Amino acid sequence: MSITLSSDNSIVHITNGKISYVMEILDNKYLIHRYFGKSIRAWHSSNTLIPFKRSYTIEYPEKNQNIYFDDLTFEYPTPGRGDYRLPALTVAGPSGAAVIDLKFHSWQILDHKPQEKSLPMSYDNKDESETLEVVCLDSISGVKVYLYYTIFKNINIITRHQHIENVGNSTIHIENAQSLSLELPAKQYEFLSLYGCHAKEANINRFPLHQGIQRINSGYGSSSPRHQPFYALLQPGTDESSGEVYGFQLIYSGNFSAAAEMDSFGQIRVQIGINPDEFNWTLSQGESFITPEAVLNYSDEGLNGMSNNFHNFIQNHIIPCSWKNKIRPILLNSWEAMYYDVNLEKIKKQATLAKELGIELFVLDDGWFRKGNDSHSSMGEWVCNEEKLPGGIQYVSDLIHSIGLKFGQWFEPEAVSPDCSIYIEHPNWILNVPGYEPLKGRHEYLLDLGQNEVQEYLISMLNDYLSDGKIDYIKWDMNRPFTDVYSSALPYERQSETAHRYILGFYRVLNETTSAYPNVLFEGCSSGGCRFDAGMLRYFPQNWTSDNTDACDRVQIQNGFSLIYPQSCALM
Q: Among 477, 533, 550, 553, which one carries the catalytic annotation? A: 477
Q: In the annotation, is 71 catalytic?
A: no
Residues linked to residue 12 through DSSP beta bridges, in sequence order:
5, 23
Q: In this structure, how many other beta carbons lie within 10 angstroms of the beta carbon of residue 346? A: 13
Q: Are 208 and 188 in contact (CB under 8 A)?
A: yes
CA distance 291 to 174: 11
Q: Which residue type is seen at 566?
A: P
CA distance 356 to 92: 64
Q: Are 226 and 220 in contact (CB under 8 A)?
A: yes
CA distance 446 to 478: 10
Tell me how far apart the 2 most distant CA atoms of the chain are, in Å: 83
Q: Are 482 and 533 in contact (CB under 8 A)?
A: no
Tallying the residues shown for the chain, one arrives at 572
CA distance 254 to 275: 9
Query: Rounded to whole angstroms, what are the CA distances from 318 to 123, 349, 454, 538, 547?
Result: 7, 38, 27, 5, 25
**Continuous segment of H or E residues that includes residue 537:** helix 534-537
CA distance 511 to 514: 5
CA distance 31 to 136: 8
Query: Based on C-alpha coordinates, what's the Rg of the chain?
Result: 25
Q: Are 407 and 332 in contact (CB under 8 A)?
A: no
Sheet holding 406-411, edge to edge: 331-333, 361-364, 406-411, 473-476, 521-524, 542-544, 570-571
CA distance 265 to 36: 20
Q: In this structure, how many other beta carbons lie within 10 angstroms of the beta carbon of residue 543? A: 24
Residue 257 CB burial class (10 angstroms; 0-12, 13-18, ≥19): buried
Instruction: With both helix axes pointing from N to C terminus, report the angle between 452-466 and 498-516 in degrees, rounded to the nearest 10.
Output: 20
- CB contact burial 548-572 (16+ within 10 A = b; e otherwise): beeeeeeebbbebbbbbbbebbbbe
Q: In the annotation, is 550 catalytic?
A: no
CA distance 433 to 481: 16
Reduced to 3 states (helix: H, G, I; strand: E, B; else coil), residue 436 is: coil
Q: Among 101, 484, 547, 553, which one carries the catalytic annotation? A: 547
CA distance 22 to 189: 21
**Continuous segment of H or E residues that includes residue 230:** strand 230-234
Q: Are 547 and 553 in contact (CB under 8 A)?
A: no
Residues marked as catalytic: 477, 547
